Amino acid sequence: MDDAVKLQAFEDKIARGEVIEPKDWMPERYRNQLIRMISQHAHSELVGMLPEGNWITRAPSLRRKISLIAKVQDEAGHGLYLYCAAETLGIDRSELTEQLLSGKAKYSNIFNYPTLSWADMGVIGWLVDGAAIVNQTMLAKSSYGPYSRAMIRICKEENFHKRQGYEIVATLANGTPEQREMVQDSVNRFWWPSLMMFGPSDKDSPNSQELLRWKVKKKTNTELRQRFVNLTVPQAQALNLTLPDPDLKLNEATGDWEFGEINWTEFNQVIAGNGPCNKERLKARCDAHEQGAWVREAAEAYAQKQARKQAA
Amino acid sequence: MTTTSTKVVGSNPGGEWPVWEVFLQEGEEGSPHKHAGSVHAPDGEIALQNARDVYARRGKVRSIWVVPAVVITASSPSDAGPFFDPAQDKVYRHPQFYKAPRGVKVF
Amino acid sequence: MESPEEMLSPRAATIAPSELPTFSPAVRTALFDYLLRLGDDRLILGHRLSEWCGHGPILEEDLAIGNVSLDLIGHAQAFLALAGRVEGKERDEDRLTFFRGEREFRNIKLSELPRGDFAFTIARQFLFDSYAALLMEKLQSCRFPELAGLAAKTLKEDTYHLRHSAQWVLRLGDGTLESHAKVQAAFNDLWAYSGEAFVADEVELLLAKELGIPDPSSLKAVWVERVSALLKEATLQVPADCFMHTGGRKGLHTEYLGKLLAEMQIVPRSYPDARW
């Protein structure tokens, strides 16, 4: 079969809602788009461990400490599922790591913001994980088998993160005046970056159309962002927390909460590497990787020695 | 202290540990092992521990198998026709093909 | 998608603790101190391990170390909660964790030493896990049923931790020249802190008599044997006998603990009326 025929068969398969598995023929572009998407997601989980890891040693109760460590661990686990899914497309983990550490690969912008108070732990769980869930629920039905299966696993675990976050936010919102102030300040800092997590608006998103046609993505950035806002506003209202957007208002006709214009300048600056923590995040990952080289080598050397012993 | 297994496979000189596929037996006793994903590890013992930490943190996992990815032989999609389709029309393999006399309990 | 109500619905209630047996004042005081020792050893060590989150040498190991840290802090929660009930002054595990001063902590110094590199972490963990598993094994037959039950539960996780740290000692010791040197240096540095756990004082001696708690000095010989065997298998030298640092059990700590506590306790201490 020549490529044009294969491509048509592939597109038909997707149109029928069938799942593509690693050994199936796929166009190079599909393969590359998936590698880019999956690895970006994996890198985000990895880097995402850092802003939250920042508060593990200062968690204010044993229950919160344990929950936070478990959450950060889950993120490591999610990174692992996703790297493994990416590897089924023919790329090595070491190559993916190199892309991240060299600054070539992107990861979710939100993790380039600093965590400045305990309240950020709640707000990140509520807003950032909340936004991720809106995105991920859609991806669980992705056309690529290994990605979709990884996402199903991840979605199951993600729910605990969001609940944990919202519980922290509620505790603070209903606490002392200082705690209320702490959590309101946190919301003021994280609201807009959370909205930015859904990426550029559809007209500025070069990859969207293709990804939609191949059922890797099933909804547009704009649709997802609106869905997130609609879910979240009532949750904020339930706690008497304000969102830092004077243009936020309910459109009675559509049921949508309309919101103000996102600061795309800030968005682009952070993507370009000028966010508050970009350099620190990358340095932490680089250091961990470099300082881990001797450990990885030792384990390999041991394994080889054992193999020689067994063979003898 | 002895280990269960330090089975090893050819590691790659790039410094990345080889891939192991992970199969879990979850839930009811006697249920089959299902593929859960993969981990990187230098040998079987570490693969088992990693698999437990990555895939068995929640829920009732009774047993874990880890298998070096390189030793798995798999059918390919182009085999699907010759391999699998003929099975569909061999009706004599299915119990419904056979009639039992009325009133006789076969099982 | 969950509503605010669904997100805040209460979890299943934790199991209500059973009634405490009646203890004499002397036993009660000793038991409170002893439970603090068990809890603090794990709280402080768990805290040190948690410093690896996001910085582990390999993603899989980051996860593994995180698991151990979680287990240890969970154990600490249980031992400290029991301690608070034995003390009878309404101090729960959080009160004990975040509002005691440095001189009231009862962990061995081994727990509070800085995180160190991976070799140091594994070596320290192996020394502790070897002790912990032995201790819990004996503690599960003490005559205070609730503590015996806790020990049995803890032993399961301690056993897994020991497997993990022992396997890594083997890989680092018998790996490359570099890993061998690093882990040997770590054991050499740690050795002087490894004896404290096995010193019996009036607290353990009284409880051994009254409640069948194991005398820690009785564990040392087996510990030495097991640790030496594994080190030799890892092609490492067992460090020579040396002077052993003590004091942690009496609240006389290294300068590391104060800074650890300053970080750990800052938020609740800054907002003393707040609940988290």
| Domain annotation covers residue B25 | yes
- Give chain B's end-to-end CA distance (angstroms, integer): 51
User: Bigger pLDDT: C274 or A162?
Assistant: C274
Q: Within an 8 Å CB–CB cutoff, is residue B53 touching chain C?
A: yes
Residue C188 CA to residue C194 CA, distance in Å, equals 10
| Nearest CB to B8 within list A80, A293, A304 | A304
pLDDT level of residue A300 (50, 70, 90 thresholds): very high
Is B93 domain-assigned? no
Q: Are A138 and A151 in contact (CB under 8 A)?
A: no
Report yes or no on B54 lying in a domain: yes
Name the band, by pLDDT with cuts 50, 70 and 90, for residue B11: very low
* Residue A90: Cβ within 10 Å count: 9
- Of the candidates C182, C183, C165, C51, the residue with the CA atom closest to the CA atom of residue C112: C51
- The strands making up B19-26's β-sheet, listed across from edge to edge, are B34-40, B19-26, B61-68
Q: Which residue has 């199969």 as its token pair?
A: B23
- The helix-helix angle for C177-190 and C118-139 (nearest 10°) equals 50
| B22: β partners | B37, B66
Across A13-17, A91-95, C102-106, the highest mean pLDDT is recorded for C102-106
Indicate yes or no: CB of A294 within 8 angstroms of CB of C178: yes
Residue A219: pLDDT band by 50, 70, 90 thresholds? confident
Q: Does B90 touch chain C (CB under 8 A)?
A: no
B-chain residues near A153 (CB < 8 A): 37
Tell me which chain B residues have a C-beta less than 8 angstroms from the C-beta of C170.
3
Question: What does the pLDDT look like over A169-179, one tens digit per residue?
Answer: 999 999 999 99
A117 pLDDT higher than 50: yes
Interface of B with A (CB under 8 A): 6, 8, 11, 14-17, 19, 37-40, 42-43, 46, 54, 57-58, 74, 76-77
| Percentage of the residues of chain A whose pLDDT score is greater than 70 | 100
Residue B41's CATH number:
3.10.20.520
What is the reported pLDDT for B8?
A: 46
* Residue C243 within a domain: yes
Shortest distance between the Cα of C230 and any Cα of chain B, in A, equals 7
Residue B104 lies inside a defined structural domain of this protein: no
**Mean predicted confidence (pLDDT) in C207-224:** 97
Which residue carries 């497997």 as its tokens?
Answer: C163
Helices (H), C51-144: 59-87, 93-99, 109-112, 118-139
pLDDT confidence bin for B2, thresholds 50/70/90? very low
Is the residue at B88 inside a domain? no
* Chain-chain contact of B54 with A77 (C-beta, under 8 angstroms): yes
Helix segments in chain A, DSSP class H? 3-15, 28-53, 62-87, 93-101, 119-123, 129-139, 145-173, 177-196, 208-213, 221-238, 264-269, 278-311
The tally of domains found in chain B comes to 1
Considering CB atoms only, which of B45, B50, B57 is closest to C60?
B50
pLDDT score of B1 more than 60: no
Buried b (16+ CB within 10 A) or exposed e, C20-35: eeebeeebeebbbbbb
Find the CB nearest C56 among A167, A175, A288.
A288
Chain B residue numbers with beta carbons less than 8 Å from the beta carbon of C58 are 17, 40
Share of chain B above pLDDT 70, in %: 60
Residue C130 placed within a domain: yes
pLDDT of A133 above 70: yes
Given a cut of 70, whether residue B91 has pLDDT beyond it is no
What mean pLDDT is predicted for residues A215-236? 91
Instruction: Name the closest residue on chain A to residue C63, using Cα atoms.
Output: A73
C193 pLDDT tier (thresholds 50, 70, 90):
very high
With an 8 Å Cβ cutoff, are C2 and A162 in contact?
yes
Q: What is the mean pLDDT of the segment spanning A213-218? A: 78
Mark yes or no for CB contact B77/A304 under 8 Å.
no
Q: Which two tokens stand for residue A249?
A: 């208002």
Does B6 reside within a domain?
A: no
Residue C121 corresponds to which tokens in the numbers above? 């972490």
Mean pLDDT of C246-267: 98
- Count how many domains chain C has: 1
Contact call for residues A66 and C77 (beta carbons, < 8 A): yes
Picking from A23, A29, A22, A37, the residue whose alpha carbon sits closest to that of residue A3 is A29
Rounded CA separation C154/C127 (Å): 17
Answer for the pair A30, A210: CB distance below 8 angstroms, yes or no: no
Q: What is the pLDDT of residue B88?
A: 63
Amino acid identity, position A261: E
Any C CB within 8 A of B38 CB? no
Question: Nearest Cβ partner of A69 from C50, C117, C171?
Answer: C50
CB contact under 8 Å between B57 and A94, yes or no, is no
Q: What is the pTM of this model?
A: 0.91
- Please give the backbone phi and psi of residue B19, each rounded to the nearest 5 degrees, phi first: -90, 140
Q: Please give the share of chain C, as a percent, with pLDDT higher than 70.
A: 94
In the predicted model, is pLDDT for residue B3 greater than 70?
no
pLDDT band at residue A217 using 50, 70 and 90 as cut-offs:
confident
Amino acid at C186: A
* ipTM given for this complex: 0.94
- Residue contact C64–B49, C-beta within 8 A: yes
Task: Tell me which chains share at least 3 CB pairs under 8 Å with chain A.
Answer: B, C
Question: Quick check: A56 and C53 in contact, CB under 8 A?
Answer: yes
- With CB atoms and an 8 Å threshold, state whether C233 touches B39: no
Query: Are residues A47 and A281 in contact, defined by beta-carbon separation less than 8 angstroms?
Result: yes
C12 located within any domain:
no
Average pLDDT for residues C200-221, to the nearest whole number? 97
Least confident of A184-188, B88-92, C49-53, C114-118: B88-92
pLDDT band at A135 (very low <50, low <70, confident <90, very high): confident
Of the candidates A157, C58, A31, the residue with the CA atom closest to the CA atom of residue B39: C58
pLDDT score recorded for residue A17:
86
With CA atoms as reference, report the closest residue to C178 among B17, A297, A307: A297
Mutate to test the interface with B, among A69, A75, A94, A96 (most CBs of B within 10 A): A94
CATH number at residue C53: 1.20.1260.10
- Give dist(CA B6, CA B4) in Å, integer: 7
| pLDDT digits 0-9 by tens, B62-75 | 999 999 999 998 88
Residue of C nearest to B48 (CA): C164
Residue B34 structural domain = 19-75
Query: Using CA atoms in the order C181, C184, C190, C195, what is the torsion angle rounded to 10 degrees?
Result: -170
Amino acid at C10: P
Q: What is the pLDDT of residues C136-151, one digit of tens each?
A: 999 999 999 999 999 9
Q: What is the pLDDT of residue A111?
A: 94
Is the pLDDT at A251 greater than 60, yes or no?
Answer: yes
Give the lowest-confidence range in A17-21, A144-148, B5-9.
Answer: B5-9
Asked whether the beta carbons of residue B54 and residue C60 sit closer than 8 angstroms, the reply is yes
With respect to residue C10, please indicate whether it lies within any of the assigned structural domains. no
Summarize the confidence of residues C213-228 as an average pLDDT.
Answer: 97
Cβ atoms C86, C28 nearer than 8 A = yes
Distance from CA of B6 to the nearest CA of C (A): 10
Q: Which residues in chain B have Cβ-Cβ distances shorter than 8 Å to A25?
A: 77
Mean pLDDT of chain C: 94
Please give the sequence-ordered ranges of beta strands (E in DSSP) within chain B, or none if there are none.
19-26, 34-40, 61-68
Residue B59 lies in a domain: yes
Written as six digits, the tokens of C165 are: 């740290």
Q: Is residue B31 a part of any domain in this protein?
A: yes
Judged on CB neighbours under 10 Å (0-12, 13-18, 19+), A24 is: middle
Which domain covers residue C227, as residue numbers? 24-270
Contacts of B45 in chain C (CB under 8 A): 167
Give percent helix, percent strand, percent coil of chain B, each to the nearest 5. Answer: 30, 20, 50
